[in-house]
Chains A and B, each alone.
Chain A
Amino acid sequence: MYDIESLYEATSVADACRALAEDPQAMVIAGGTDVLVKVRSGKFAGAHLVSIHGLHDELDGVELAPDGTVEIGPITWFHHVTTSPVARERVLTLAEACDTPGGPQLRVSGTIGGNVCNAATSADTASTLVAYGALLDLQSVRGTRTVPITEWYTGPGRCVRERDEVLVKIRIPRENYEGFTGHYFKYGKRRALEIATMGCCCLVKLADDRRTIDDIRLAFGVAAPTPIRTRGAEDAVRGMDVAEAAEKVGELALAECHPRDSWRASKEFREQLIREMSRRSLLEAARKGGAEV
Protein backbone atom coordinates (compact mmCIF):
# COMPACT_ATOMS: atom_id res chain seq x y z
CA MET A 1 0.00 0.00 0.00
CA TYR A 2 1.30 3.39 -0.95
CA ASP A 3 1.62 6.35 1.37
CA ILE A 4 -0.64 8.57 -0.73
CA GLU A 5 -2.43 11.40 1.02
CA SER A 6 -4.88 12.03 -1.78
CA LEU A 7 -5.58 10.66 -5.24
CA TYR A 8 -7.68 12.57 -7.72
CA GLU A 9 -8.57 11.14 -11.13
CA ALA A 10 -8.72 14.09 -13.49
CA THR A 11 -11.54 14.08 -16.03
CA SER A 12 -9.77 16.28 -18.57
CA VAL A 13 -6.53 18.18 -19.02
CA ALA A 14 -8.29 21.37 -17.94
CA ASP A 15 -9.57 19.56 -14.85
CA ALA A 16 -6.07 18.31 -14.08
CA CYS A 17 -4.67 21.82 -14.40
CA ARG A 18 -7.37 23.12 -12.09
CA ALA A 19 -6.67 20.42 -9.50
CA LEU A 20 -2.94 21.11 -9.65
CA ALA A 21 -3.56 24.81 -9.19
CA GLU A 22 -5.90 24.35 -6.26
CA ASP A 23 -3.65 22.11 -4.18
CA PRO A 24 -0.13 23.54 -3.84
CA GLN A 25 1.18 20.10 -2.89
CA ALA A 26 -0.39 18.27 -5.79
CA MET A 27 1.72 16.49 -8.38
CA VAL A 28 0.90 14.73 -11.63
CA ILE A 29 0.89 10.96 -11.94
CA ALA A 30 0.48 9.24 -15.31
CA GLY A 31 1.85 5.71 -15.78
CA GLY A 32 3.04 5.50 -12.20
CA THR A 33 6.34 3.79 -12.88
CA ASP A 34 8.38 6.70 -11.54
CA VAL A 35 6.03 8.42 -9.12
CA LEU A 36 4.89 5.28 -7.29
CA VAL A 37 8.46 4.06 -6.92
CA LYS A 38 9.32 7.37 -5.28
CA VAL A 39 6.25 7.26 -3.06
CA ARG A 40 7.34 3.84 -1.88
CA SER A 41 10.92 4.91 -1.25
CA GLY A 42 9.69 7.73 0.97
CA LYS A 43 10.79 10.56 -1.29
CA PHE A 44 7.20 11.32 -2.28
CA ALA A 45 5.59 9.82 0.84
CA GLY A 46 2.29 11.47 1.64
CA ALA A 47 1.91 12.58 -1.96
CA HIS A 48 -1.11 14.46 -3.25
CA LEU A 49 -1.64 12.92 -6.66
CA VAL A 50 -3.54 14.24 -9.63
CA SER A 51 -3.86 11.34 -12.03
CA ILE A 52 -3.97 11.84 -15.78
CA HIS A 53 -3.84 8.07 -16.21
CA GLY A 54 -7.23 7.88 -17.88
CA LEU A 55 -7.09 10.91 -20.20
CA HIS A 56 -6.73 8.83 -23.35
CA ASP A 57 -8.87 11.08 -25.52
CA GLU A 58 -6.63 14.08 -25.00
CA LEU A 59 -3.22 12.69 -24.19
CA ASP A 60 -2.78 9.24 -25.74
CA GLY A 61 -1.56 8.23 -29.17
CA VAL A 62 0.82 9.18 -31.98
CA GLU A 63 -0.51 11.23 -34.87
CA LEU A 64 0.71 12.99 -37.96
CA ALA A 65 -0.29 16.65 -38.23
CA PRO A 66 -1.12 18.06 -41.67
CA ASP A 67 2.22 19.87 -41.77
CA GLY A 68 4.06 16.62 -41.20
CA THR A 69 4.76 17.17 -37.54
CA VAL A 70 4.72 13.95 -35.53
CA GLU A 71 2.57 14.60 -32.46
CA ILE A 72 2.87 12.25 -29.51
CA GLY A 73 0.48 12.27 -26.60
CA PRO A 74 2.46 12.18 -23.36
CA ILE A 75 0.58 9.27 -21.77
CA THR A 76 1.30 7.07 -24.76
CA TRP A 77 2.94 3.91 -23.49
CA PHE A 78 6.48 3.24 -24.64
CA HIS A 79 5.14 0.13 -26.33
CA HIS A 80 2.56 2.08 -28.28
CA VAL A 81 5.21 4.47 -29.57
CA THR A 82 7.21 1.43 -30.67
CA THR A 83 4.27 -0.08 -32.52
CA SER A 84 2.73 3.15 -33.83
CA PRO A 85 2.67 3.12 -37.67
CA VAL A 86 3.24 6.88 -37.71
CA ALA A 87 6.22 6.65 -35.38
CA ARG A 88 7.71 3.75 -37.29
CA GLU A 89 7.36 5.51 -40.61
CA ARG A 90 8.57 8.96 -39.51
CA VAL A 91 10.67 8.67 -36.36
CA LEU A 92 11.75 5.05 -36.35
CA THR A 93 14.71 5.65 -34.08
CA LEU A 94 12.38 6.99 -31.39
CA ALA A 95 10.12 3.97 -31.85
CA GLU A 96 13.16 1.76 -31.35
CA ALA A 97 14.38 3.72 -28.32
CA CYS A 98 10.94 3.24 -26.76
CA ASP A 99 11.51 -0.50 -26.97
CA THR A 100 14.44 -0.38 -24.54
CA PRO A 101 13.31 0.78 -21.07
CA GLY A 102 12.82 -1.94 -18.46
CA GLY A 103 10.92 -4.96 -19.68
CA PRO A 104 7.69 -5.52 -21.60
CA GLN A 105 5.44 -4.87 -18.59
CA LEU A 106 7.13 -1.56 -17.83
CA ARG A 107 6.68 -0.53 -21.44
CA VAL A 108 2.91 -0.87 -21.11
CA SER A 109 2.76 1.23 -17.96
CA GLY A 110 5.55 3.72 -18.43
CA THR A 111 4.77 6.65 -20.70
CA ILE A 112 6.92 8.71 -23.00
CA GLY A 113 5.75 11.90 -21.29
CA GLY A 114 6.74 10.53 -17.93
CA ASN A 115 10.16 9.73 -19.32
CA VAL A 116 10.51 13.37 -20.41
CA CYS A 117 9.15 14.88 -17.18
CA ASN A 118 11.23 12.59 -15.00
CA ALA A 119 14.15 14.40 -16.64
CA ALA A 120 16.71 11.72 -15.81
CA THR A 121 19.82 11.87 -17.95
CA SER A 122 19.53 8.09 -18.28
CA ALA A 123 15.98 8.19 -19.65
CA ASP A 124 15.94 6.00 -22.73
CA THR A 125 13.97 8.38 -24.92
CA ALA A 126 15.92 11.47 -23.86
CA SER A 127 18.87 11.38 -26.23
CA THR A 128 16.62 10.43 -29.15
CA LEU A 129 14.16 13.23 -28.46
CA VAL A 130 17.09 15.62 -28.17
CA ALA A 131 18.44 14.41 -31.50
CA TYR A 132 15.02 14.84 -33.09
CA GLY A 133 14.73 18.35 -31.62
CA ALA A 134 11.39 17.68 -29.99
CA LEU A 135 9.11 20.50 -28.92
CA LEU A 136 7.28 20.11 -25.63
CA ASP A 137 3.89 21.71 -25.05
CA LEU A 138 2.93 22.55 -21.47
CA GLN A 139 -0.42 23.60 -20.13
CA SER A 140 -1.56 25.04 -16.81
CA VAL A 141 -4.28 27.35 -15.59
CA ARG A 142 -1.83 30.11 -16.36
CA GLY A 143 -1.82 29.21 -20.04
CA THR A 144 0.21 27.19 -22.48
CA ARG A 145 3.81 27.36 -23.61
CA THR A 146 6.18 25.40 -25.82
CA VAL A 147 9.71 24.48 -24.76
CA PRO A 148 12.31 23.11 -27.19
CA ILE A 149 13.86 20.03 -25.61
CA THR A 150 17.29 21.61 -25.68
CA GLU A 151 15.96 24.13 -23.14
CA TRP A 152 14.03 21.56 -21.13
CA TYR A 153 16.65 20.10 -18.82
CA THR A 154 18.03 22.18 -15.96
CA GLY A 155 19.97 19.57 -14.00
CA PRO A 156 19.94 15.93 -12.91
CA GLY A 157 16.28 14.94 -12.68
CA ARG A 158 15.21 18.56 -13.09
CA CYS A 159 13.43 20.37 -15.91
CA VAL A 160 11.67 23.66 -16.59
CA ARG A 161 8.20 22.22 -16.09
CA GLU A 162 6.50 23.84 -13.13
CA ARG A 163 4.71 21.66 -10.59
CA ASP A 164 1.28 22.74 -11.84
CA GLU A 165 2.02 22.26 -15.52
CA VAL A 166 0.92 19.26 -17.55
CA LEU A 167 2.94 18.13 -20.54
CA VAL A 168 0.26 17.83 -23.19
CA LYS A 169 2.14 17.11 -26.38
CA ILE A 170 5.54 16.09 -27.70
CA ARG A 171 6.05 17.36 -31.24
CA ILE A 172 8.74 16.50 -33.77
CA PRO A 173 8.67 18.86 -36.79
CA ARG A 174 9.06 17.35 -40.22
CA GLU A 175 12.39 19.01 -40.99
CA ASN A 176 13.90 17.34 -37.92
CA TYR A 177 13.27 13.82 -39.13
CA GLU A 178 12.85 13.90 -42.87
CA GLY A 179 15.74 12.28 -44.67
CA PHE A 180 17.40 11.08 -41.48
CA THR A 181 18.10 7.52 -40.49
CA GLY A 182 19.29 6.80 -37.03
CA HIS A 183 20.33 4.49 -34.28
CA TYR A 184 19.74 4.55 -30.55
CA PHE A 185 22.46 2.64 -28.74
CA LYS A 186 21.58 1.77 -25.17
CA TYR A 187 24.49 0.42 -23.21
CA GLY A 188 23.51 -1.57 -20.17
CA LYS A 189 25.16 -4.23 -18.09
CA ARG A 190 22.45 -6.63 -19.12
CA ARG A 191 20.06 -6.89 -22.02
CA ALA A 192 16.75 -6.19 -20.26
CA LEU A 193 15.43 -4.59 -17.09
CA GLU A 194 18.22 -2.12 -17.34
CA ILE A 195 19.02 1.51 -16.74
CA ALA A 196 21.36 2.93 -19.36
CA THR A 197 25.01 3.12 -18.33
CA MET A 198 25.30 5.25 -21.44
CA GLY A 199 22.82 6.18 -24.13
CA CYS A 200 23.70 7.50 -27.56
CA CYS A 201 21.48 8.52 -30.43
CA CYS A 202 22.83 9.36 -33.84
CA LEU A 203 20.70 10.59 -36.73
CA VAL A 204 22.36 10.91 -40.10
CA LYS A 205 21.25 12.39 -43.40
CA LEU A 206 23.40 11.16 -46.24
CA ALA A 207 24.13 12.96 -49.45
CA ASP A 208 22.99 11.37 -52.68
CA ASP A 209 26.28 9.51 -52.95
CA ARG A 210 25.30 7.53 -49.83
CA ARG A 211 28.79 8.17 -48.51
CA THR A 212 28.92 11.79 -47.44
CA ILE A 213 27.31 13.04 -44.28
CA ASP A 214 24.98 15.82 -45.28
CA ASP A 215 23.67 16.37 -41.80
CA ILE A 216 24.01 14.71 -38.42
CA ARG A 217 22.56 14.88 -34.92
CA LEU A 218 24.46 13.24 -32.10
CA ALA A 219 22.98 13.17 -28.62
CA PHE A 220 23.78 11.42 -25.36
CA GLY A 221 22.22 10.40 -22.10
CA VAL A 222 24.38 9.83 -19.00
CA ALA A 223 27.32 11.58 -20.68
CA ALA A 224 26.57 14.65 -18.59
CA PRO A 225 24.19 15.66 -15.79
CA THR A 226 21.48 16.15 -18.41
CA PRO A 227 20.90 14.72 -21.87
CA ILE A 228 23.11 16.64 -24.31
CA ARG A 229 23.69 17.20 -27.97
CA THR A 230 27.31 17.40 -29.13
CA ARG A 231 27.00 20.13 -31.72
CA GLY A 232 30.74 20.61 -32.04
CA ALA A 233 31.19 17.02 -33.12
CA GLU A 234 28.24 17.32 -35.47
CA ASP A 235 29.72 20.42 -37.12
CA ALA A 236 33.11 18.78 -37.44
CA VAL A 237 31.93 15.64 -39.21
CA ARG A 238 29.26 17.26 -41.38
CA GLY A 239 30.42 16.90 -44.95
CA MET A 240 32.82 14.08 -44.15
CA ASP A 241 32.85 10.64 -45.64
CA VAL A 242 31.06 8.21 -43.31
CA ALA A 243 34.13 6.10 -42.66
CA GLU A 244 36.25 9.10 -41.81
CA ALA A 245 33.51 10.55 -39.62
CA ALA A 246 33.25 7.26 -37.75
CA GLU A 247 36.99 7.38 -37.06
CA LYS A 248 36.85 10.87 -35.65
CA VAL A 249 33.47 11.21 -34.04
CA GLY A 250 34.38 9.43 -30.80
CA GLU A 251 37.08 11.81 -29.66
CA LEU A 252 35.13 14.81 -30.94
CA ALA A 253 32.05 13.85 -28.98
CA LEU A 254 34.05 13.05 -25.89
CA ALA A 255 35.39 16.60 -25.82
CA GLU A 256 31.87 17.86 -25.24
CA CYS A 257 30.81 15.26 -22.66
CA HIS A 258 31.17 15.36 -18.91
CA PRO A 259 30.47 11.88 -17.62
CA ARG A 260 30.66 11.46 -13.89
CA ASP A 261 32.40 8.96 -11.71
CA SER A 262 29.91 6.92 -9.76
CA TRP A 263 29.59 3.49 -8.29
CA ARG A 264 27.53 2.55 -11.30
CA ALA A 265 30.42 3.23 -13.67
CA SER A 266 33.73 5.05 -13.58
CA LYS A 267 34.37 8.20 -15.58
CA GLU A 268 37.03 6.37 -17.62
CA PHE A 269 34.68 3.54 -18.45
CA ARG A 270 31.96 5.95 -19.52
CA GLU A 271 34.46 7.84 -21.67
CA GLN A 272 35.40 4.62 -23.39
CA LEU A 273 31.73 3.96 -24.02
CA ILE A 274 31.18 7.45 -25.45
CA ARG A 275 34.04 6.94 -27.91
CA GLU A 276 32.95 3.53 -29.03
CA MET A 277 29.21 4.10 -29.04
CA SER A 278 29.50 7.33 -31.05
CA ARG A 279 31.42 5.48 -33.70
CA ARG A 280 29.13 2.48 -33.84
CA SER A 281 25.94 4.57 -33.71
CA LEU A 282 27.11 6.74 -36.56
CA LEU A 283 28.01 3.72 -38.65
CA GLU A 284 24.71 2.00 -37.92
CA ALA A 285 22.71 5.14 -38.69
CA ALA A 286 24.59 5.55 -41.96
CA ARG A 287 24.10 1.89 -42.87
CA LYS A 288 20.38 2.28 -42.41
CA GLY A 289 20.60 5.23 -44.78
CA GLY A 290 22.21 3.09 -47.42
CA ALA A 291 25.90 3.62 -46.75
CA GLU A 292 28.04 0.58 -47.37
CA VAL A 293 30.36 0.63 -44.41
Chain B
Amino acid sequence: MRILKCTINGKPVQVGYDPRESLLDTLRNRLHLTSVKRGCEVGECGACTVLIDGVATDSCLYLTDWAQGTTILTCEGLQAADGSLNPVQQAFVDDFAVQCGFCIPGIIMSAVEIVGTGKTYTRDELRKMLSGHLCRCTGYQNIVGAVEDVVEEINGTGACSEEARAAFAAVAQKARLVAEE
Protein backbone atom coordinates (compact mmCIF):
# COMPACT_ATOMS: atom_id res chain seq x y z
CA MET B 1 0.00 0.00 0.00
CA ARG B 2 1.08 3.52 -0.73
CA ILE B 3 -0.37 6.85 0.37
CA LEU B 4 -1.89 9.22 -2.19
CA LYS B 5 -1.75 12.89 -1.29
CA CYS B 6 -3.67 15.14 -3.61
CA THR B 7 -6.52 17.62 -3.74
CA ILE B 8 -9.93 16.29 -4.67
CA ASN B 9 -12.93 18.53 -5.14
CA GLY B 10 -11.20 21.34 -3.34
CA LYS B 11 -10.14 19.37 -0.30
CA PRO B 12 -6.73 17.90 0.56
CA VAL B 13 -6.97 14.11 0.59
CA GLN B 14 -4.72 11.38 1.94
CA VAL B 15 -5.74 7.84 1.13
CA GLY B 16 -4.04 4.48 1.04
CA TYR B 17 -3.98 2.72 -2.31
CA ASP B 18 -2.66 -0.40 -3.96
CA PRO B 19 -0.23 0.60 -6.72
CA ARG B 20 -2.10 -1.68 -9.08
CA GLU B 21 -5.13 0.58 -8.90
CA SER B 22 -6.30 2.95 -11.57
CA LEU B 23 -7.46 6.34 -10.41
CA LEU B 24 -10.95 5.11 -11.32
CA ASP B 25 -10.61 2.29 -8.79
CA THR B 26 -9.36 4.57 -6.06
CA LEU B 27 -11.97 7.28 -6.58
CA ARG B 28 -14.84 4.80 -6.64
CA ASN B 29 -13.82 2.14 -4.18
CA ARG B 30 -11.83 4.06 -1.59
CA LEU B 31 -13.31 7.55 -1.77
CA HIS B 32 -16.86 6.59 -2.83
CA LEU B 33 -16.86 9.16 -5.61
CA THR B 34 -19.23 7.01 -7.62
CA SER B 35 -20.10 9.63 -10.21
CA VAL B 36 -16.93 8.36 -11.87
CA LYS B 37 -18.30 5.45 -13.89
CA ARG B 38 -16.64 2.37 -15.30
CA GLY B 39 -17.87 1.64 -18.81
CA CYS B 40 -15.05 -0.06 -20.69
CA GLU B 41 -11.79 0.21 -18.68
CA VAL B 42 -9.78 0.91 -21.82
CA GLY B 43 -10.39 4.57 -22.61
CA GLU B 44 -13.03 4.05 -25.26
CA CYS B 45 -16.22 5.32 -23.62
CA GLY B 46 -15.30 8.35 -21.48
CA ALA B 47 -17.64 7.48 -18.59
CA CYS B 48 -14.76 7.71 -16.08
CA THR B 49 -13.65 11.19 -17.14
CA VAL B 50 -12.41 13.47 -14.36
CA LEU B 51 -10.39 16.66 -14.44
CA ILE B 52 -6.77 16.18 -13.42
CA ASP B 53 -5.09 19.55 -13.02
CA GLY B 54 -7.87 20.97 -15.15
CA VAL B 55 -7.57 18.43 -17.96
CA ALA B 56 -10.40 16.01 -18.78
CA THR B 57 -8.81 12.58 -18.48
CA ASP B 58 -9.99 8.97 -18.63
CA SER B 59 -9.33 7.82 -15.07
CA CYS B 60 -9.43 4.14 -16.10
CA LEU B 61 -6.11 4.43 -17.94
CA TYR B 62 -4.48 6.59 -15.30
CA LEU B 63 -2.60 4.89 -12.48
CA THR B 64 -3.34 6.28 -9.05
CA ASP B 65 0.41 6.36 -8.57
CA TRP B 66 0.55 9.21 -11.06
CA ALA B 67 -1.97 11.33 -9.18
CA GLN B 68 0.43 12.36 -6.39
CA GLY B 69 0.15 16.08 -5.84
CA THR B 70 -2.48 16.64 -8.48
CA THR B 71 -5.73 18.53 -8.25
CA ILE B 72 -8.72 16.41 -9.20
CA LEU B 73 -12.30 17.41 -9.82
CA THR B 74 -15.22 15.01 -10.14
CA CYS B 75 -18.90 15.63 -10.65
CA GLU B 76 -19.37 15.54 -6.86
CA GLY B 77 -17.33 18.73 -6.64
CA LEU B 78 -19.51 20.84 -8.90
CA GLN B 79 -22.40 21.95 -6.73
CA ALA B 80 -22.03 25.30 -4.98
CA ALA B 81 -21.78 25.48 -1.21
CA ASP B 82 -25.46 26.45 -1.03
CA GLY B 83 -26.38 23.33 -2.97
CA SER B 84 -27.24 25.06 -6.20
CA LEU B 85 -26.23 23.30 -9.37
CA ASN B 86 -23.28 24.42 -11.40
CA PRO B 87 -24.45 26.14 -14.59
CA VAL B 88 -23.19 23.16 -16.58
CA GLN B 89 -25.29 20.76 -14.55
CA GLN B 90 -28.26 23.09 -14.75
CA ALA B 91 -28.00 23.23 -18.55
CA PHE B 92 -28.08 19.43 -18.71
CA VAL B 93 -31.29 19.43 -16.64
CA ASP B 94 -32.94 22.29 -18.51
CA ASP B 95 -32.10 20.99 -21.97
CA PHE B 96 -33.26 17.41 -21.33
CA ALA B 97 -29.75 16.12 -21.95
CA VAL B 98 -30.08 13.31 -19.40
CA GLN B 99 -31.61 9.91 -20.01
CA CYS B 100 -30.13 6.85 -18.28
CA GLY B 101 -27.51 9.22 -16.93
CA PHE B 102 -24.60 6.80 -16.78
CA CYS B 103 -22.38 8.69 -19.20
CA ILE B 104 -23.52 12.10 -17.98
CA PRO B 105 -21.11 12.85 -15.10
CA GLY B 106 -18.15 12.18 -17.40
CA ILE B 107 -19.57 14.34 -20.17
CA ILE B 108 -20.30 17.10 -17.68
CA MET B 109 -16.62 17.07 -16.69
CA SER B 110 -15.57 17.55 -20.30
CA ALA B 111 -18.15 20.32 -20.59
CA VAL B 112 -16.66 22.01 -17.53
CA GLU B 113 -13.26 21.85 -19.20
CA ILE B 114 -14.73 23.37 -22.37
CA VAL B 115 -16.46 26.20 -20.54
CA GLY B 116 -13.23 26.73 -18.62
CA THR B 117 -11.38 27.72 -21.78
CA GLY B 118 -13.38 30.94 -21.74
CA LYS B 119 -14.15 30.63 -25.45
CA THR B 120 -17.19 29.91 -27.56
CA TYR B 121 -17.36 27.20 -30.20
CA THR B 122 -19.44 26.05 -33.12
CA ARG B 123 -21.57 22.96 -32.72
CA ASP B 124 -19.11 20.99 -34.84
CA GLU B 125 -16.22 22.10 -32.66
CA LEU B 126 -18.15 21.09 -29.58
CA ARG B 127 -18.92 17.70 -31.09
CA LYS B 128 -15.21 17.13 -31.60
CA MET B 129 -14.35 18.30 -28.10
CA LEU B 130 -16.93 15.89 -26.66
CA SER B 131 -16.06 13.01 -28.96
CA GLY B 132 -14.19 11.05 -26.32
CA HIS B 133 -17.53 10.10 -24.80
CA LEU B 134 -20.04 7.56 -25.98
CA CYS B 135 -23.69 7.98 -25.13
CA ARG B 136 -26.22 5.43 -26.27
CA CYS B 137 -29.47 7.07 -25.13
CA THR B 138 -29.55 10.58 -26.52
CA GLY B 139 -28.21 10.52 -30.06
CA TYR B 140 -26.06 13.31 -28.53
CA GLN B 141 -28.62 15.90 -29.66
CA ASN B 142 -29.60 17.47 -26.36
CA ILE B 143 -26.13 17.05 -24.89
CA VAL B 144 -24.62 19.14 -27.67
CA GLY B 145 -27.45 21.61 -27.12
CA ALA B 146 -26.83 21.82 -23.38
CA VAL B 147 -23.09 22.34 -23.79
CA GLU B 148 -23.67 24.90 -26.52
CA ASP B 149 -26.10 26.76 -24.27
CA VAL B 150 -23.88 26.84 -21.21
CA VAL B 151 -20.78 27.80 -23.20
CA GLU B 152 -22.76 30.66 -24.69
CA GLU B 153 -24.17 31.58 -21.29
CA ILE B 154 -20.82 31.77 -19.51
CA ASN B 155 -18.41 32.68 -22.29
CA GLY B 156 -20.63 34.24 -24.91
CA THR B 157 -21.85 37.73 -25.43
CA GLY B 158 -25.32 36.98 -24.17
CA ALA B 159 -26.63 37.93 -20.76
CA CYS B 160 -25.24 35.80 -17.98
CA SER B 161 -26.18 36.14 -14.37
CA GLU B 162 -23.39 37.12 -12.01
CA GLU B 163 -24.31 34.10 -9.91
CA ALA B 164 -23.78 31.72 -12.79
CA ARG B 165 -20.44 33.23 -13.69
CA ALA B 166 -19.36 33.22 -10.06
CA ALA B 167 -20.49 29.63 -9.61
CA PHE B 168 -18.47 28.56 -12.58
CA ALA B 169 -15.46 30.60 -11.53
CA ALA B 170 -15.48 28.93 -8.13
CA VAL B 171 -15.37 25.51 -9.73
CA ALA B 172 -12.72 26.58 -12.21
CA GLN B 173 -10.54 27.62 -9.33
CA LYS B 174 -11.18 24.34 -7.54
CA ALA B 175 -10.19 22.43 -10.66
CA ARG B 176 -7.22 24.64 -11.54
CA LEU B 177 -8.83 25.32 -14.89
CA VAL B 178 -6.94 27.94 -16.82
CA ALA B 179 -8.70 29.93 -19.47
CA GLU B 180 -6.86 29.97 -22.77
CA GLU B 181 -5.47 33.28 -23.91
Using a CB–CB cutoff of 8 Å, the interface residues on chain A facing chain B are 1-4, 7, 9, 31-33, 36-37, 40, 51, 53-54, 102-106, 108-109, 191-193
- Which residues on B sit within 8 Å (CB–CB) of A106? 43, 58, 132
Task: Tell yes or no: B32 within 8 A of A by CB.
Answer: no
- Which residues on A sit within 8 Å (CB–CB) of B58? 105-106, 109
Q: CA A106 – CA B57 in complex, angstroms? A: 7
Knowing A1-B21, A3-B20, say if A36 contacts B63 (CB, 8 Å).
Answer: yes
- Which residues on B sit within 8 Å (CB–CB) of A108? 55-57
- A105 contacts which of B25, B63, B128, B132 (Cβ < 8 Å)? B132
Task: Tell yes or no: B95 within 8 A of A by CB.
Answer: no
Q: Which 9 A-B pairs have the closest CB atoms?
A: A103-B132, A192-B131, A105-B132, A105-B58, A104-B132, A7-B19, A4-B20, A103-B131, A1-B20
Q: Identify 11 residue pairs between A and B in the complex whose beta-carbon atoms are under 8 Å apart, listed by A's number.
A: A2-B21, A2-B22, A7-B63, A9-B65, A37-B61, A51-B66, A104-B128, A105-B43, A105-B57, A108-B55, A108-B56
Q: CA A111 – CA B62 in complex, angstroms? A: 13
In the complex, what's the smallest C-beta–C-beta distance from B36 to chain A, in angstroms?
13
Residue from B41, B61, B132, B133 whose CB has the most chain A CB atoms within 10 Å: B61
Task: Tell yes or no: B94 within 8 A of A by CB.
Answer: no
In the complex, what's the smallest C-beta–C-beta distance from A54 to chain B, in angstroms?
7
Asked if B61 and A193 sit within 8 Å, CB to CB, the answer is no
Asked if B20 and A102 sit within 8 Å, CB to CB, the answer is no
Q: A2-B21, A4-B20, A104-B130 are in contact. List 8 more A-B contacts (CB 8 A).
A: A1-B22, A37-B61, A40-B42, A53-B66, A103-B131, A105-B110, A109-B61, A193-B131
Residue from A31, A37, A53, A103 whose CB has the most chain B CB atoms within 10 Å: A103
In the complex, what's the smallest C-beta–C-beta distance from B173 to chain A, in angstroms?
21
Task: Tell yes or no: B129 within 8 A of A by CB.
Answer: yes
- Which residues on B sit within 8 Å (CB–CB) of A109? 43, 57-58, 61-62
Residue of B nearest to A38 (CB): B42
Task: Tell yes or no: B98 within 8 A of A by CB.
Answer: no
Per-position 1/0 for B27-56, Cβ under 8 A of A: 000000000000001111010010000011
Knowing A1-B21, A33-B61, say if A103 contacts B133 (CB, 8 Å).
Answer: yes
Q: CA A2 – CA B20 in complex, angstroms? A: 5
- Which residues on B sit within 8 Å (CB–CB) of A53? 63, 66
- Which residues on A sit within 8 Å (CB–CB) of B62? 32, 109
Residue of A nearest to B19 (CB): A7
Asked if B41 and A40 sit within 8 Å, CB to CB, the answer is yes
In the complex, what's the smallest C-beta–C-beta distance from A264 to chain B, in angstroms?
16
In the complex, what's the smallest C-beta–C-beta distance from B11 to chain A, in angstroms?
23
Knowing A1-B21, A4-B20, A109-B43, say if A104 contacts B63 (CB, 8 Å).
Answer: no
Task: Tell yes or no: B76 within 8 A of A by CB.
Answer: no
Task: Tell yes or no: B134 within 8 A of A by CB.
Answer: yes
Residue of B nearest to A31 (CB): B61
Residue of A nearest to B109 (CB): A105
Residue from B20, B41, B49 whose CB has the most chain A CB atoms within 10 Å: B20
Knowing A1-B20, A2-B20, A106-B43, say if A7 contacts B65 (CB, 8 Å).
Answer: yes
In the complex, what's the smallest C-beta–C-beta distance from B128 to chain A, in angstroms?
7
Asked if A105 and B56 sit within 8 Å, CB to CB, the answer is yes
